[in-house]
């Protein structure tokens, strides 16, 4: 879907990609860069957060993390172009061009660099692409991801400890570039990140990813939250129109609720079994509160009833 057909956040659309020295580290085959200003739909830089794992056999690991949404820009005014270039450079450094079967035509041998494997099925040797379209999420859950349409996003993470067991956390800066309280960041605020672009290869799971180093606050924005089922239901029924004015009367004998409970510990007789008080026989509560439920006798040879 073309971004020009959507009303993209004008603040995001006006951003530019900051200058970055796009050079892959020859030893580690990664690079650091600064992202353009975007919007954080999710951000956890105050304390590590465990993102639920779909595989119950692999418990989620608490991490510092952030998701940044960015406008794609145009051909004359690119915004995320350097992010894509950095990904391709790191992929080519990790998986140099070699003679491989053409992913689209396995019977043909071609020279394929690592960057050509983005978007290719993993079974055919493809690798993970970390720069993704918000439209993909929108197509899966339109109500939850409506604000992601027409934008690109990346996910970044940082382990709370280094490989040597030393505690670490993302550097947090305010709009002036001064150290700030991590609580300044919340879902919906605007900011940018300093990340490390690196390749990974874990038991055949290969690709490029972004590691979080630092975040900088840019400006406040409307707070974003996860999908609110109650609000969505209310909005849907409101859109459907008002109900008829006369809602009728409940059927005879139907209890529509209990009266106020005026009982207190002082009004309960000694020896009364613990448990909930019995509902009144009418809407009017008897003086002194609800009566205590009678003690039930266990049926011969059967299970004991609740409260006995």
Residues with Cβ within 8 Å of residue 243, at least 6 apart in sequence: none
- Other C-beta atoms lying within 10 Å of the C-beta of residue 101: 14
* DSSP symbol at 203: T
More confident position, 299 or 66: 66
* DSSP symbol at 14: T
Interatomic CA distance for residues 25 and 196, integer angstroms? 11
Interatomic CA distance for residues 174 and 266, integer angstroms? 57
Interatomic CA distance for residues 23 and 173, integer angstroms? 25
The confidence score (pLDDT) of residue 3 equals: 43
pLDDT confidence tier of residue 266, bands split at 50, 70 and 90: low
The confidence score (pLDDT) of residue 54 equals: 57
* Mean pLDDT for the chain overall: 80
Q: Is the dihedral of CA 170, 195, 24, 87 positive or negative?
A: positive
SS3 content of the chain, % helix, strand, coil (to 5): 20, 30, 55
The pTM assigned to this predicted structure is: 0.69
SS3 call for 91: helix
Which of 146, 132, 158, 155 shows the shortest CA–CA distance to 226? 146
Question: Mind listing the pLDDT tens digit for each residue in 192-230?
Answer: 999 999 999 987 789 999 999 999 999 999 998 654 556
**How would you classify residue 150: left for phi > 0, otherwise alpha for psi between -120 and 50, otherwise beta?**
left
The pairing of strands 190-202 and 205-219 is: antiparallel
Question: Mind listing the pLDDT tens digit for each residue in 5-41?
Answer: 567 899 999 999 999 999 999 999 999 999 999 999 9
CATH number of 14-52+59-90+129-224: 2.40.50.140
SS3 call for 81: helix
Tokens of 267: 């009004």
Ranges assigned E (strand) in 141-180: 152-158, 171-173
Please state the domain extents for the chain: 14-52+59-90+129-224
């Amino acid at each position: 879907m073309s971004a020009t057909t959507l009303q993209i956040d004008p603040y995001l659309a006006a951003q530019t990609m900051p200058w970055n020295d796009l050079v892959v580290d020859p030893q580690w085959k990664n690079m650091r860069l600064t992202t353009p200003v975007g919007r954080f739909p999710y951000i956890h830089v105050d304390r590590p957060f465990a993102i639920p794992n779909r595989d119950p056999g692999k418990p989620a690991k608490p991490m510092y993390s952030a998701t940044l949404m960015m406008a794609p820009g145009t051909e004359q005014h690119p915004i995320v172009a350097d992010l894509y270039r950095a990904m391709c450079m790191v992929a080519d450094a990790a998986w140099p061009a070699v003679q491989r079967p053409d992913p689209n035509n396995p019977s043909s041998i071609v020279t394929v660099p690592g960057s050509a494997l983005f978007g290719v099925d993993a079974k055919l040797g493809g690798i993970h692409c970390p720069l993704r379209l918000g439209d993909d999420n929108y197509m899966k859950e339109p109500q939850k991801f409506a604000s992601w349409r027409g934008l690109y996003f990346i996910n970044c993470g940082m382990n709370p400890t280094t490989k040597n067991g030393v505690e670490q956390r993302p550097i947090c800066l305010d709009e002036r570039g001064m150290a700030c309280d991590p609580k300044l960041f919340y879902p919906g605020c605007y900011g940018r990140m300093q990340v490390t672009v690196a390749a990974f290869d874990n038991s055949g799971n290969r690709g490029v990813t972004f590691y979080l180093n630092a975040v900088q606050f840019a400006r406040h924005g409307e707070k974003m939250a996860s999908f609110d089922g109650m609000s969505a239901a209310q909005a849907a029924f409101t859109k459907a129109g008002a109900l008829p004015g006369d809602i009728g009367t409940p059927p005879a004998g139907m209890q529509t609720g209990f009266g106020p409970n005026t009982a207190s510990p002082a009004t309960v007789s000694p020896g009364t079994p613990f448990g909930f008080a019995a509902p009144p026989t009418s809407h009017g509560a008897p003086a002194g509160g609800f009566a205590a439920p009678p003690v039930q006798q266990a049926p011969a040879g059967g299970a004991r009833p609740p409260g006995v």
